[in-house]
Structure 1
């Protein structure tokens, strides 16, 4: 009845509505003021979480319900102004760098696992592919420091006068020891030579020494690539005899053969070359000593590489390898000698010195005539004309700048394996009988295919895995075998070619 009474008056109704709105506003303000005292499980900003993330060190405090809570964050203030948190750029960069290094390590481990799972192995082993092997590796080179004695720089008459005075003083001192004048003494200081790590890459196995387990790992890698022959450098030193005998005993377990490379020079006599052959002959009775069947001699003949053979052209020992020589060295050790060449006229020198073949040895395209890929077709044609054997040497690259300074910079970049591939493809297309690989572990020359690890100050195989060039070698040896089988299948019967035999046969 009261509401109906007031409804009839429109002015009074407006006043009543306004009072109700004011009452609702007052009630809302009262409720909002008392809400912080009420424990709520839902908060827009969880102060305990923020304090834990930013590592608030104020300790924990107890809440009314007995739970331990972090104290709320309090921004520092100076004169009533909020001071922002300090930003340490160095710490942030260090944290980002650590995260990046960790990420790279995980990627490398993942790539190594993937490469190990996808790595291919050749079931067949060919003796048509030879690889240079260093045992032991010369990790360091010795550099003698240059000492410059302090000298007085004089010219003309002053220098001559000083020399005359010093000579007179020395002569008088030597003639009259009691005159009180003593001759000047020179003091010399002995400076130790500096050892420098002589490699552009860093091996994954460290700076190793040849042990049984290490040799087994190397031989297993070489066997899996399909390579059948190792070339060792024979110098006749006493320390290498036992090591090489161990290599010869271990090789048959991995279906490998071993041959040797001897080194000669232009000023060496027949007696020196004789000593070199006698040093190799001591290993000739081993089962794994590499031999081929010669059609001309109708017997098995060992294969020996001769480094720097072109230097024998003007020496008495030059024609000592010929059968017609009165003191022929073939009586000591008869073998199929393959000589090292560099220039175009060296092939004719090899023919006159009675070598059965020649090889270029240096895996640096363009450094010499023999190591240039486009010249291999000429060398192959010359070898066929005179019934000789041309053995090209391929390599993944070359990282020794000062080995042949007369030819300038002969360093060759690997170009992510493309350099290695062009060398292999050129050798295969020339249908050669043998191919040399330089090398498995010649680290001082930077021509190795062995595994490396990324290390500060050294080159590596990135973006590939550490076994990148072992895998590439397996691939190209397989292509070489395939090409030889195809060539042998289409060979004309009755006209055998010394470059197409698959049974270790040569002319």
Structure 2
């Protein structure tokens, strides 16, 4: 009898020791997992955006992606057999100059500086310095995708999907020659292969909106044209349009009036030694009409067409729809293309705080519809849209959401609330479809 209690005691002791070891192991595992989460800081899953209510805590470490409406959870499925065709006579100006620390190691363009006014007394009355993303960006609206990077393949894919869904056929990409860029960004040429691939997935075409790079003259512009055609001309998404009997590359030449006419003539006249006409580098070249004399200068320089770009309809001669019929008539009698540019509105006071006089209210879509209708009345060859994502000037049709600036109580403008994030993409599709019915019946 005296030995039985001892055997039971040792057995109980062994069980108790095992339980203690198990408890210690579980506690250690929990602590180790917590240590991983805090010290190694696994990146958030950016594929599925977070809700606005939880966004503030995450913005300092990411790009500030915001959930604007249920469409942002939509699976991007493109079926060309069931989707209505794209309209390749509708072009949208596209900017691939945005960057964030996640993809670019630093901010580009979202942290745009406040531009100075040329009058010192006026300039003193306005803010200086730079914006501080991701909550404070250089724009009056806030993108549904947050302060994104143009390098992000998911962003590019989403953009091309939305563009194609709106039945836009061509994106006109803002472009500088290799190793050059605007003052706020990185050289965009390095992103062209990714843009072409993303566009091709959705049967969208890509043309080039050549920016006013330094030292533009006949030789440097010819070199730029040669680079684009040699490097990208064989890609399936590279846009060509029929002109006469040829399918030719298409180029918008921004601020073309800053280059002397005789320099353009060296390129665009068949009699000049540097001409691209009737060579493998020939194309359709479209000049920008800002002032009333520009259409004639563009014609004399040898261009194939005229576009107007600006979305503020009282800004300059070319941007006023009341002048479009006159410009169109001038072009048609000279076998030139006329390409009016329409936009949903204009506001750039987060980069040009002194420029409120050129602000154009969106009027809940009425401004966009009115100017699109004015463009249709000119019987245009092509309609261009300013813009898909020029956020600094508030001309974007890309989805925007309500959002706080991150300081004080100031909030961004929006399209009418969370449910209206994609309003202007949807309106664009409606306007394109109305043109297509008129144009082809």
Give TM-score, length-normalised by structure 1: 0.60
Q: CA deviation at 1:140?
A: 1.9
Match of 1:285 in 2: 234
1:124 has 2:98 as partner: no
Match of 1:336 in 2: 284
Match of 1:54 in 2: none
Question: 1:410–1:241: structure 2 CA closer, same or farther, 3 Å change rule?
Answer: same
1:234 has 2:195 as partner: no
The answer (yes or no) to whether the contact 1:225–1:474 under 8 Å persists in 2 is yes
Match of 1:212 in 2: 153
Question: 1:382–1:314: structure 2 CA closer, same or farther, 3 Å change rule?
Answer: closer
Q: Deviations over 1:117-166 (max 9, x none)?
A: 9xxx9612110100011113321223599xxxxxxxxxxxxxxxxxxxxx
Match of 1:475 in 2: 430
Match of 1:313 in 2: 260
Q: Deviations over 1:321-364 (max 9, x none)?
A: 21122322445721010111111110000110000001001011
Question: 1:113–1:215: structure 2 CA closer, same or farther, 3 Å change rule?
Answer: closer
Match of 1:200 in 2: 140
Count of residues paired in the alignment? 330
CA distance in 2, matches of 1:337, 1:421: 28
Q: Secondary structure at the match of 1:413?
A: coil
Give TM-score, length-normalised by structure 2: 0.68
Question: 1:425–1:292: structure 2 CA closer, same or farther, 3 Å change rule?
Answer: same
The answer (yes or no) to whether the contact 1:234–1:280 under 8 Å persists in 2 is no
Once superposed, what is the RMSD of the aligned Cα atoms? 3.3
Q: Secondary structure at the match of 1:250?
A: helix
Question: 1:350–1:402: structure 2 CA closer, same or farther, 3 Å change rule?
Answer: farther
Q: Secondary structure at the match of 1:199?
A: coil
The answer (yes or no) to whether the contact 1:401–1:410 under 8 Å persists in 2 is no
CA distance in 1, matches of 2:320, 2:355: 13
Question: Is 224-233 or 207-216 further displaced after alignment?
Answer: 207-216
What is the aligned counterpart of 1:251 among 186, 189, 199?
A: 199
Question: 1:113–1:284: structure 2 CA closer, same or farther, 3 Å change rule?
Answer: closer
Unaligned stretches of 5+ residues in structure 1 = 1-100, 103-110, 146-191, 487-507
Match of 1:301 in 2: 248
CA distance in 1, matches of 2:138, 2:351: 12
CA distance in 1, matches of 2:302, 2:337: 12
Extract structure 1 runs of 4+ deviating beyond 6 A.
114-117, 402-408
Question: 1:199–1:237: structure 2 CA closer, same or farther, 3 Å change rule?
Answer: farther
The answer (yes or no) to whether the contact 2:173–2:208 under 8 Å persists in 1 is yes
- Structure number with larger C-alpha Rg: 1
Unaligned stretches of 5+ residues in structure 2 = 1-51, 54-67, 75-81, 99-108, 117-127, 180-186, 405-410
Match of 1:460 in 2: 414
Q: CA deviation at 1:421?
A: 0.5
CA distance in 2, matches of 1:454, 1:405: 21
CA distance in 2, matches of 1:439, 1:259: 14
What is the aligned counterpart of 2:270 among 319, 323, 341?
A: 323
CA distance in 1, matches of 2:268, 2:261: 14
What is the aligned counterpart of 1:261 among 209, 212, 222?
A: 209
The answer (yes or no) to whether the contact 1:265–1:308 under 8 Å persists in 2 is no
